[in-house]
Amino acid sequence: MPNPTTVLRATAVALAVALAVTACGAGSRTAAQSATQVACDIPAPPQPVTVNVLAYNSSAIDPFTNTMVKSCTKSGVTLNHEPIDFGGQVQKTTATLAGDSGTYDIVETYSYVVPQYASQQKLQPLDDLVAEFDQEYALSDINADMRKALSYDGKLYGLPMQAQMYVMAYRKDVLDALGVAPPTTFAELRDVAAKIQQAGEIEYPVALPLLASADISTAYDAALGSLGVDYVDATAMRPNFDRPEAAKAFEELRSLLPFMDPEVTTFDQPRVQQQMYNGSAAIAIMFSGRMNDLSQPTNSRFATQFAFAPPPSVAGGDTLYNVLSVDGWSIPTNTKVDKALLFEMIASAVSVDASRASVPAAFPAREGIVTPESSPYAAAAQQSIGKAPPAEPYPWTARIGNDTRSVVADVITGAVPVAEGTARMQEIATEILAEYQP
Amino acid sequence: MRRREFLALVTPSVLVMGGLLVLPLHRTLEWSLERVNYGEAGTFVGLANYGAALSDPRLGQAVLFTVGLTLAVTAALIVGGYLLAVMVNGLGRSKPWVLGILLISYVIPHVVGGAMFSWLFDANFGGVVNHLVTLVTGQDVLWFTDPWPNRVIVALNTIWFMLPFAMLVIIAGLQGVPGELLEAARIDGASAVRTHWSVIIPSIRGVLGFVAIISIMDILRTFDQLVALSPQAVQLGNESIMLYIFNVAFQDGGQQLGLGSAVNVLLILLIVLMLFPFIRGIAKEARQA
């Protein structure tokens, strides 16, 4: 029998080594050494310049950020990028854009928030710079719809980098064994899920990111959008939560609960991915940026069994249960760095070479980059993007989405009846809209 | 000590305390009476922020949850810390090693520890405890969506990372108990339990009070671990006061610095209220000494 003292010492040493190794790996500030090197022909500044880049870490964003940092850091110019999660980026974006001077010179933005910041003149309009550098960086090849998604009041405020739309991932082996096709409506999704449940191997076959403190409002927006209704009737400046579709969106989402993990309202996208990796779910609907991870054999023994399709529509219409989110690079109005210099950096980060290198982790904004040969979920993403609900490019959209989130969570968890929830949401949205009345 | 030497020694402390404590406190009080956004001058709104906070039932629930957690965990820390300290204090050469290992949970950042702790209860990430509980009881416990199981894991996690501190302080106290007292108790034939209850615990009452004060202050400020352990805290009524402040004032780029400051002032008052009996006891002892 080993001496207890020796065992204790060995355990302590092992723990110390584990902690030391963990500490070495944590908080690395170096952009991926494997990032693609692209042309970043910025002129040498007369004085050394430090550029701070704010972008959250994800497999879809990192290729662009790392490429920019690696390619544009050269004599006289230093680019800094600190790893940060999405929630942290949202906070820092608000703070850096608030005053006359900010901490960041380039910020990653997305279509949901651009109208809010653009309407407050916190972002630099990019149209003149696009015209100046169009030829050099082939900016005309960037998808027109994605440019529109990052525009407000006819002006471009973000140079599109990549888009994310919902894609449905499913276990082909499971569906094939049951002889069913991938669902195209919520009714079919319920039928397929019920058959998988009855087969007995997978108790909770459907996985959606419905985290009560984040993703749940996006899910509700997607359901409402699929039913053809926006949050707000922008012409009448009136919220739409008192329309029958607002209640139906809740009922349809709640109808999926029997097929999902009872704790699904604590699931964000990584946790949904984990369910698919484990084989505890067979069908997941998430943003396309999460799909490449599923196809990696290092992540899951089911990697070769995953197939991809567009998400279903809620009630059978042409518009799918979907959200199109376009990410891009913006320049804060309050930066002290030369804006043309910054624009060249973001233009090189979305150049042809950078965009090509980001596939299949991302769905770049440039036309013709994503093909079924270059990305396993390309076909699904391309079908999905064409059938997404139209964007709501208004400054109040993000505020309404954020402020009604806890009510959405209360209704989906069953704590609040649907009618009461939609009435509360109507009240909250009406108060917000009152601030924007002409 | 000469006046000049006294001033030279005291001034740095006063400056640091002023800059890091008095100034932020003054600013918090000021902002609590204003409507403030990042980068803008505040607008005086009187007690409106206090009114908004106190009329929100979520704050009441957050206070109830936080105070309940504080009382339960502080009691567990004092009892558990004492038992652990007595056991570790009795070890021989292995004591430094055991102490070192026990302190690991204390130095791990709360949010990291919370995430690791959540995996013990999450079937998606192995869920060892979850699995064992299901094996023994035949029941699936919803640790993250049922209020009471969720409160249990939050409390267990808090105890897990704070217990080493309590133990360490109590060990220091135990080492200060006069040997003659213990010897006298032994000669008088006192049992081990009687010796602890009537001799050791009264001797280290001040140390136990110190553990209680630090624990109350720390637990009333519970925040980071809830991110991982209670992702549905608002719906469950398991939102701590600090999480409430973050959610209403800062979440999703919110900028309600005035409202956040008002709740902070209320939290300071609550901390003072809960510490009052301990501070009064310590002051009384100091006067008697």
Q: Selecting from 3.40.190.10, 2.40.110.10, 3.30.390.10, 3.40.50.620, what CATH number does the domain A165-324+390-435 have?
A: 3.40.190.10
Of residues B158, B151, B175, the one with CA closest to residue B76: B158
Note the pLDDT of residue B241. Answer: 95
Q: What is the mean pLDDT of residues B64-72?
A: 97
Tell me the chain B residues in contact with residue A98 when contact means C-beta distances shorter than 8 Å. Answer: 37-40, 255
The reply to whether residue B252 touches residue A262, judged by beta carbons under 8 angstroms, is no
Decide if B255 touches A, using CB distance below 8 A: yes
The reply to whether residue A212 touches residue B40, judged by beta carbons under 8 angstroms, is no
Beta carbons of A255 and A414 less than 8 angstroms apart: no
Of residues A227, A241, A222, the one with CA closest to residue A418: A241
What phi and psi, each to the nearest 5 degrees, are found at residue B223? -150, -70
Domains, chain B: 57-287 (1.10.3720.10)
**Tokens in use for A50?**
């430090």
Beta carbons of A115 and A152 less than 8 angstroms apart: yes
Which ranges constitute the DSSP H helices of A26-100? 62-72, 86-98
Peptide bond into A360 cis (omega under 30): yes
Decide if B253 touches A, using CB distance below 8 A: yes
Of residues B4, B155, B6, the one with CA closest to residue B69: B155
Decide if B14 touches A, using CB distance below 8 A: no
Beta carbons of A421 and A411 less than 8 angstroms apart: yes
pLDDT at B59 over 70: yes
Decide if B234 touches A, using CB distance below 8 A: yes
**Tokens in use for B265?**
């002032």
Q: How far is CA A308 from CA A13, A24, A267, B112, in A?
A: 46, 37, 21, 33
Q: Summarize pLDDT for A240-282 with one digit per residue, the tens.
A: 999 999 999 999 999 999 999 999 999 999 999 999 999 999 9
With cut-offs at 50, 70 and 90, classify the pLDDT of residue B252. confident
A359 Cβ contact list (under 8 Å, min separation 6): A369, A370, A374, A375
Note the pLDDT of residue A10. Answer: 52
Q: Report chain A's C-alpha Rg in angstroms.
A: 23
**Which of the residues A117, A122, A263 would you substitute to probe the B interface, choosing the one with the greatest number of B C-beta atoms within 10 Å?**
A263
Helix (H, G, I), strand (E, B) or coil at A363: coil
Residue A73 parent element (H or E): none
pLDDT at B102 over 60: yes
Note the pLDDT of residue A20. Answer: 41
Of residues A149, A173, A178, A153, the one with CA closest to residue A161: A149
CA–CA dist A272, A151 (Å, integer): 32
User: Does A165-324+390-435 match A49-164+326-373 at the fold level?
Assistant: yes
User: What fold does the segment set A49-164+326-373 form as a domain?
Assistant: D-Maltodextrin-Binding Protein; domain 2 (3.40.190)
Beta carbons of B245 and B58 less than 8 angstroms apart: no
Decide if B251 touches A, using CB distance below 8 A: yes
Nearest CA in chain A to B144: A263
CA–CA dist A434, A101 (Å, integer): 30
Work out the angle at residue B29's Cα, subtended by the Cα atoms of residues B25 and B35, and round it to the nearest 5 degrees: 130
Q: In chain A, what are the domain boundaries?
A: 49-164+326-373, 165-324+390-435
Note the pLDDT of residue A291. Answer: 93
Beta carbons of A237 and A433 less than 8 angstroms apart: yes
- Low-confidence residues in chain A, pLDDT < 50: 1-2, 4-5, 7-9, 11-31
Per DSSP, A365 falls in state S
Beta carbons of A350 and A150 less than 8 angstroms apart: no
Q: Can you tell me which residue has the tokens 């709104």? A: B45
Note the pLDDT of residue A8. Answer: 44
Q: Distance from B101 to chain A by nearest Cα, in Å?
A: 6
| Residue type at A258 in one-letter notation | P
Note the pLDDT of residue A145. Answer: 87
The reply to whether residue A90 touches residue B255, judged by beta carbons under 8 angstroms, is no
Maximal CA-CA distance, chain A: 83
The reply to whether residue A94 touches residue B142, judged by beta carbons under 8 angstroms, is no
**Tokens in use for A14?**
């092992």
Decide if B57 touches A, using CB distance below 8 A: no
Beta carbons of A71 and A353 less than 8 angstroms apart: no
Q: Provide the percentage of residues in chain B whose pLDDT is more than 90.
A: 66
The reply to whether residue B232 touches residue A90, judged by beta carbons under 8 angstroms, is no
Helix (H, G, I), strand (E, B) or coil at B284: helix
Note the pLDDT of residue A83. Answer: 86
- Residues belonging to chain A: 438
CA–CA dist A152, B254 (Å, integer): 22
Of residues B12, B61, B9, the one with CA closest to residue B230: B61
CA–CA dist A327, A348 (Å, integer): 15
What phi and psi, each to the nearest 5 degrees, are found at residue A295? -85, 5
Q: What is the mean pLDDT of residues B157-181?
A: 93
CA–CA dist B265, B29 (Å, integer): 7
The reply to whether residue A8 touches residue B100, judged by beta carbons under 8 angstroms, is no
CA–CA dist B35, B49 (Å, integer): 8
Beta carbons of A199 and A173 less than 8 angstroms apart: no
CA–CA dist B183, B188 (Å, integer): 9
B268 Cβ contact list (under 8 Å, min separation 6): none
Nearest CA in chain B to A15: B101
